[in-house]
Amino acid sequence: MRIVMAGSSGFLGTTLAERLRRGGHEVVRLVRRPAEAADEATWNPSGGQLDPTLLVGAGAVINLAGAGVGDKRWTARYKSLIRSSRVDSTGTIARAVRLLPAEDRPRALLQSSAVGWYGDTGDQEVTEEAPAGTGFLADVCRVWEAAARPAEDAGSRVVLLRTGLPLDANGGLLKPQMPLFRLGAGARLGGGKQWVPWIALDDWLAAVEFLLRRDDLAGPVNLVGPQPVTNATFTRTLAKILHRPALLQVPGIALQVALGEFAHEALRSQRALPGVLERAGFPFAHPTLESALRAAINDDSPAAA
């Protein structure tokens, strides 16, 4: 299958592009700079510019583009970038899809989103049928997903990838935590009662491939593991695997001083479940947190060896 991908330079995009190529797919990467390789094509999402002919013959478009949520302190300017980088890229792709005649249109758009859609769910389990919550990230997810509507209206199958927290030692949630935990300085955040919507990286990648193949699946799909845990349990489990103590706690007020407004989002509880994937029979390779963490660490830690 020919797949056009936006956001291929990020942690998830790089890994996914490599996996798809190994699986025999042709991946064309959309880049903002002048194209330098045969597998690249230039676009300008902030200017709404994408040549629709680049999508002709593609079996699918995968859009993972967007500024990192936790990469910088949340100033008003950076919050605007978090929103615009997602909405602009999604809208640019969706409008390009709509401009194509039906016979040239990609069959599917796999559009990145996040479990931030649900806001703070407390102890309540939520599946894809739950409405949007409140808060900055929930608001971003609402307009982000809405920006894909032109592609859906044009007849393409649109899948909204509401991703949780993929686990891998080389990126995402674990990368900044691993050095601290290996030093015995791992700590639960706040009271530790908030639910963590984790997913093994291998399962995230496999789920995207699964959704590429399943023409009968569309709409929001929670890309999370089937057994969410609290932050306290997550902390204990990671420390156990690394054979380190985890007796510390980072008070909420300290997080607010260190992270600013982002601390409120970091302490939100999201007990999201993979309802669509489970009903569709997706086989999780790592259904438990301990299995997912061991796969993520892959015995690369001397403490875990």
Give me the pLDDT at residue 305, please: 30
**DSSP letter string, 15-48:** HHHHHHHHTT-EEEEEESSPP-STTEEE-BGGGT
User: 118: domain CATH number?
Assistant: 3.40.50.720
CA pair distance 52, 42, nearest whole angstrom = 12
Domain with 36, as residue range(s), is 2-169+197-226+271-285
The 3-state DSSP composition of the chain as helix, strand, coil percent (nearest 5) reads 40, 20, 40
pLDDT at 303 over 50: no
The model's pLDDT over 217-249, given as tens digits with 9 standing for 90+, comes to 999 999 999 999 999 999 999 999 999 988 788
Which is it for the CA torsion 145, 146, 148, 153, positive or negative?
positive
**9 within domain boundaries:** yes
Is the per-residue pLDDT at 300 higher than 70? no
Give dist(CA 274, CA 138) in Å, integer: 18
pLDDT digits (tens, 9 = 90+) for 175-214: 888 888 998 888 888 889 999 999 999 999 999 999 999 9
Q: How confident is the model at residue 71 (pLDDT cuts 50, 70, 90)?
A: confident
Find the helix or strand (DSSP H, E) in which 96 lies: helix 76-99
pLDDT category, 302, cuts 50, 70, 90?
very low
pLDDT of residue 172: 85
Mean pLDDT to the nearest integer, 88-104: 97
Residue 88 pLDDT greater than 50, yes or no: yes
Select from 157, 189, 208, 186 the least CA-distant residue to 253.
Answer: 189
Using pLDDT thresholds of 50, 70 and 90, give the confidence band for residue 259.
low
Specify if 178 maps to a domain.
Answer: no
Q: Is residue 7 part of a domain?
A: yes
- For the chain, the domain total comes to 1
Average confidence (pLDDT) over 12-29? 97
Average pLDDT over residues 99-117: 97
pLDDT, mean over the chain = 92
264 located within any domain: no
Any domain includes 99: yes
Rounded to an integer, what distance in angstroms lies between the CA atom of residue 239 and that of residue 183?
10
Whether residue 213 is contained in a domain is answered as: yes
* Prediction pTM value: 0.93
Share of the chain above pLDDT 70, in %: 93
Q: What is the mean pLDDT of residues 54-81?
A: 93
Residue 267: the pLDDT is: 80
